[in-house]
Amino acid sequence: MSRTAVIGAGPCGLAQLHAFEQARLDGVDVGEVVCFEKQSDWGGLWNYTWRTGLDSHGDPVHGSMYRYLWSNGPKECLEFSDYPFDEHFGGPIPSFPPREVLYDYIVGRAKKSNVRQFIEFDTAVRQVSFDDATQTFTLAIESWTSGESSFRTETFDYVIVATGHFSVPNVPEYPGFESFPGRILHSHDFRDAVEFAGRDLLILGSSYSAEDIALQSLKYGAASVTIAYRNAPMGFGWPDGIAEVPALQHLDGRTAHFADGSVRDVDAIILCTGYQHHFPFIDPALRLTTTNNLYPGGLYKGVVWTANPKLMYLGMQDQYYTFSMFDAQAFVARDVVLGRLPLPGNDTMAADVAAWLGRYAEVASVMEQIDFQTDYVRDLMTLTDYPAFDLDMVRQHFVTWEHDKDDSITGYRDKSFASPCTGTVGPAPHTTWWDELDDSLARFLKR
């Protein structure tokens, strides 16, 4: 009987446990599957924590989630094809739910497939190494399940890394940071926009975090938000109170100086400068090293570590597709473990990766990125029995969504989309996003 370790019980890890369980329900011997989760509960980033910095065990806090986060893409683009939103909520709900609603949905499927029994909570994997002689992995494990810290090692035939890549911030330094009279934080440590009510904020970045935290902060009372970009502005039609300026040069006290010569006095600085793929617990020889992009090298089908195919990584791509892509990947990883998906030789795997990387090098626009990842998911779907959904519809949703954001950055979350699984069209929300301050599930689902 094989032993498989899954590291992390967030969306990827839960997708993996669910995938194994589907096979087991079909009568397949899936061996022993053990999932290690260092947090006390499941859901990964979607398991909100008020903590920042280090957790109660002195470990880096995994969470980057903040209060008042609404999905920034249509929920129909991330729907589980074997567990549609209609099934979970008993009917249609609007297309852009807040965090608690998506958490409820992720956890709902995990409860239905009864996978909690496979998870060891409060348990961190400290080291993963591979023994060539025995062809097994040794995991050094620290656990606090008894209240106190305890250590042990276990051996596994397969290891599936599902620890995400939006937990370890990339934190640049600018001249004057050391004497700035106010808070400087990375978006990883952003928790509650109310903290910045009445304050003048400076945000560095030009991707999703910068966009969303700027809007959140203004919505919850910031006096002004200045967004500094390095290469190009996001260029949305910002509401009054948000402005984009060229790159920050330096700070002099609380005065920020920008590349166009303009200056601005600010009270706090939020670095929306992205995340690192960071796996300090994996032996360097087995460790994925990549920037955040749509096709990290070294992973066959974006999942299998070609240098040692008993090691797999889930969800390491930059993402348009999320939960459904994780599912498609998890079914691939499962079928590799089960021997249902025979892997070609190393040269063939490397050639496949090279072909994808070659195509990726040609991608020049957001629309081409959407097409690229759509084709990647389409390829994954040919490999397993993960239930089909209308991929072309999802692709079109992403295109429409990008246009909606250009039309109205404060209004795009009021739009409705059709489900690629059931066809159900999400109803309009009872309150427009810009006017809705209550992000609770109860409020969102109220008719």
Binding residues for its own copies, rule: CB under 8 A, are 48-56, 58, 60-61, 67, 126, 151, 168-169, 171-173, 177-186, 188-189, 191-192, 194-195, 267-268, 276, 278, 280, 284
Q: Beta 150-156 vs 304-305: how paired, if at all?
A: unpaired
Q: How far apart are CA 353 and CA 370, in angstroms?
A: 19
- CB-nearer residue toward its own copies: 49 or 416: 49
- CB-nearer residue toward its own copies: 60 or 309: 60
Q: How far is the CB of 316 from its own copies (least distance, A)?
A: 16
- CB-nearer residue toward its own copies: 171 or 393: 171
Contacts (Cβ under 8 Å, ≥6 apart) of 328: 377, 380, 381, 384, 386
Count other Cβ atoms within 10 Å, centred on residue 129: 14
Q: How far apart are CA 97 and CA 70, in angstroms?
A: 6
Q: How far is the CB of 351 from its own copies (least distance, A)?
A: 28
User: Which tokens sit at 341?
Assistant: 């998906």
Q: How far is the CB of 187 from its own copies (least distance, A)?
A: 11
Contacts (Cβ under 8 Å, ≥6 apart) of 281: 7, 124, 125, 126, 127, 128
- CB-nearer residue toward its own copies: 172 or 427: 172
User: Which tokens sit at 39?
Assistant: 């947090």
- CB-nearer residue toward its own copies: 194 or 441: 194
- CB-nearer residue toward its own copies: 191 or 397: 191
Q: How far is the CB of 181 from its own copies (least distance, A)?
A: 4
CA distances from 356 to 240, 260, 414 (A): 43, 39, 36
- CB-nearer residue toward its own copies: 132 or 173: 173
- CB-nearer residue toward its own copies: 279 or 417: 279
Q: How far is the CB of 267 from its own copies (least distance, A)?
A: 8
Dihedral angle over CA of 112, 117, 122, 127, nearest 10: -110
DSSP letter assigned to residue 284: G
- CB-nearer residue toward its own copies: 59 or 260: 59
Q: How far is the CB of 413 from its own copies (least distance, A)?
A: 22
Q: Which of 58, 14, 30, 76 is nearest to 423 (CA)?
A: 76
User: Which tokens sit at 280?
Assistant: 């300090």
Q: How far is the CB of 237 from its own copies (least distance, A)?
A: 29
Q: How far is the CB of 90 from its own copies (least distance, A)?
A: 27
Q: How far is the CB of 70 from its own copies (least distance, A)?
A: 17
Element (H, E) at 338: none
Q: How far is the CB of 67 from its own copies (least distance, A)?
A: 8
Cβ proximity of 14 and 8 under 8 Å: no
Q: How far apart are CA 289 and CA 306, in angstroms?
A: 13
- CB-nearer residue toward its own copies: 79 or 189: 189
CA distances from 193 to 62, 357, 399, 432 (A): 20, 39, 30, 19
Dihedral over Cα of 15, 18, 23, 29: its sign: positive
Nearest-Å Rg of the Cα atoms of the chain is 22
- CB-nearer residue toward its own copies: 35 or 124: 124
Q: How far apart are CA 407 and CA 34, in angstroms?
A: 47
Count other Cβ atoms within 10 Å, centred on residue 16: 32
Q: How far is the CB of 57 from its own copies (least distance, A)?
A: 9
